[in-house]
Structure 1
Amino acid sequence: MRRAVTALLLLLCASPALADQSPRLVVLAPHLVEQLYSIGAGGMIVGTVEHADYPLEASAIPRVGNYAGLQLESILALKPDLVLFWQSGSPAAEINQLQRLGIRTEGFEAKTLDDIAADLEQLGRLTGQQARASQQARAVRSRLAALRQQYQQKKTVRVFYELWDEPLSTIGPGAWPSQALRLCGAENIFADATAAYPQVSAEALLQRQPDLIVQPVSTTEPRHLTDYTKRFASLKAVQLQQRAQPNADLLHRATIRTLDGVAELCQLIDQSRQFYATKSGVSPQPLPR
């Protein structure tokens, strides 16, 4: 019995997580990797998934799968103290299997821009980086408050937000970018959609006539964009050249940098708002009810 207890104590003392209080993390979402680096905990990550590419150091972390599937053997071989996952974006079956195997897991699901700050604080508690995390969370909340004060009371701009060209897809009220539109004082013309990321017909888009077409662009995941001049020449926004291309790599990840993307989006929407303010007779018709 005494030998068994001694062996257990030796094992615990040899554990790097207990020796220096730095847990070995496997992180199954790119935005969580980025958040950990922002609070000084990036060096604790021993495994992650594809597309975890920011900051640059994250590209060197071993990969253990992607949103479609995880390599459980690789994860176990890394001997993580904690696996962090994205509740709606990580493969549920594999997460459940890790939990059944006794691996400690923690799920995250940022649903609002304010959740970015809350997630930072939770990551700080899990990694012992509370001071840095609290500082970053305060900065996020302060910047969000400033953006809301600057834009939310301005005249509404009606926006079509293109996510994909074929099939033509946009965002519904439950989609992550929809709250950025609201913060910027914009109205999503498909806010009545029942799906978070609905496909829409050309006829529906032509009927709703947005003031501004937003086409987020990515440098890490390039895609084709709709050629509105050829396909939707009768849209008033096309005729008036009211199109904007914000940075999707900022807007579509729930991290501190998201606020840079939101600020850019708000500026682009405000430019369109000012354009319409200088024109007479070009204001849009009310959204069909």
Structure 2
Amino acid sequence: MPVAAAAPLATGPARHGTPPRIVTLAPNATELVYAAGAGADIVGTVLRSDYPPEARTIPRIGDGIQFSEETILTLRPTLVVGWLPSDGTRSLERRLAPLGVPLVYANPKSLDDIPALIRDLGDRLGTRAAADAAARGLERRIRALRPAPPPPQTVFIEISADPLYTLGRDPLTNDLLARCGGVNPYATHAIAAPQVSVESVLHLNPQVLIVSPYGRETLAARRAWWAQHGLPAALADRIYAVDPDQLHRPGPRLVDAAEAICADLRDSRTRP
């Protein structure tokens, strides 16, 4: 089910009359609404919503963790789309409920959920044709993913260098890795993004490293750092970079990240 809170997006009427007024509470929600053909109807979003480029001109209502309920209410939304439930979103839900304004959560658990979620949004927002076209395109690309030859390779995904964080029990990313012929050695960790020690990574000795560099943390710098610590994957140049926005935003561009990671894991098979 692509939407959190155990409920799919309700199907709305075909678009006619006054267009919807949408507020998005996360960058991935913004990208999904654009993919569904309703980006022009977003009247408020969060600071890091910067894709597609048109999203940069949308008024800001907060930073994704904290947002102004009063500002949202003054925008007169007809739909609010978030990512994960939080104290802030639950409080906002209580303010929106008497007004008949739904707040839905776009939290896909697999790559297949992403096109399904785009279709759900298109049904609700009256943009079914555009949403279905975007969903079909993503489905074709997901089906066309080419995994590395078996057996599966262990893949360490570094999402922060200092302190060192990785992805753990994150079903969406682990589904992506499985489709590319990889397995996350931290997949059974109790939380989605655990902090881990260098010693733990060295002990697990992953065959491939995927890093998502921020700021000054370039691929070359991370390769050198891990090589200095003696990690065989870094010494053998089986370390790759992926765009952090593509990998960490559970929206349409995650398929871009999947294509890149599948190619990386095929390449890693050619290295000693």
Stretches of structure 1 that go unaligned for 5 or more consecutive residues are: 1-17, 277-289
Q: Which has the larger radius of gyration?
A: 1
1:237-256 matched pairs, under 5 angstroms = 237-256=233-252
Cα offset for 1:152?
Answer: 6.5
Q: How does 1:74-85 map to 2 (within 5 A)?
A: 74-85=71-82
Find 1:156's aligned residue among 149, 152, 159.
Answer: 152
Q: Distance in 1 between matches of 2:264 and 2:158?
A: 15
Q: What is residue 186 of structure 2 aligned with on the other side? A: 190
TM-score, normalised via structure 2 length: 0.85
1:262 matched to 2:263: no
- Kindly indicate whether structure 1 or structure 2 has the higher relative contact order, using CA contacts under 8 Å at least 6 residues apart: 2
Is 2:67 the counterpart of 1:45? Answer: no
> Is 1:83–1:103's contact at 8 Å kept on the other side of the alignment?
no
Identity %: 32
The SS at the match of 1:237 is helix
C-alpha distance in structure 1 between counterparts of 2:113 and 2:103, whole Å: 15
C-alpha distance in structure 2 between counterparts of 1:57 and 1:153, whole Å: 40
Following superposition, the deviation at residue 217 of structure 1 comes to: 3.0
* Superposition pairs of residues 52-67 of structure 1, within 5 angstroms: 52-67=49-64
Match of 2:175 in 1: 179
TM-fit CA distance, 1:113:
0.9
Query: How far is 1:40 from its partner?
Result: 2.4
Q: 1:127 aligns with which of 125, 137, 154?
A: 125
Shift, 1:223, TM fit: 6.2
2:253 aligned partner, one-letter code? R
Aligned residue type for 2:268 = S
Is the 8 Å Cα contact of residues 110 and 171 (structure 2) preserved in structure 1? Answer: no
TM-score, length-scaled by structure 1: 0.80
Instruction: Provide the aligned C-alpha RMSD in A.
Output: 2.3
Cα distance in 2, alignment partners of residues 54 and 89 from structure 1: 23
Q: Are residues 103 and 72 of structure 1, via their aligned partners in 2, closer, same or farther at CA, if it must alter by over 3 Å?
A: farther
Partner of 2:206: 210
Supply the distance in 1 between the matched residues of 2:16 and 2:155 (Cα, whole angstroms).
53
Summarize deviations over 1:202-255 as a string: whole Å, max 9, x none: 22111111111110235xxx3646745346532111221221111122122222
Residue among 205, 223, 229 paired with 2:224: 229
Q: Is contact 1:81–1:104 with CA below 8 Å preserved after alignment?
A: yes
1:35 counterpart = 2:35? no
1:85, 1:105 within 8 Å by CA — same for their partners in 2? no
What residue number does 2:109 align with? 111
Instruction: Check 1:223–1:129 CA distance in 2 against 1; reply closer, same or farther (3 A cut).
Output: farther
Distance 2:261 2:76 in 1: 41
Residue of structure 1 in register with 2:83 after alignment? 86
Structure 1 residue identity aligned to 2:232: K
Q: Which runs of 5+ in 2 are unaligned?
A: 1-14
Number of positions where the alignment pairs a residue of Structure 1 with one of Structure 2: 254
- Alignment of 1:70 onto 2:64: no
1:152–1:117 CA distance, 2 compared to 1 (3 A) = farther
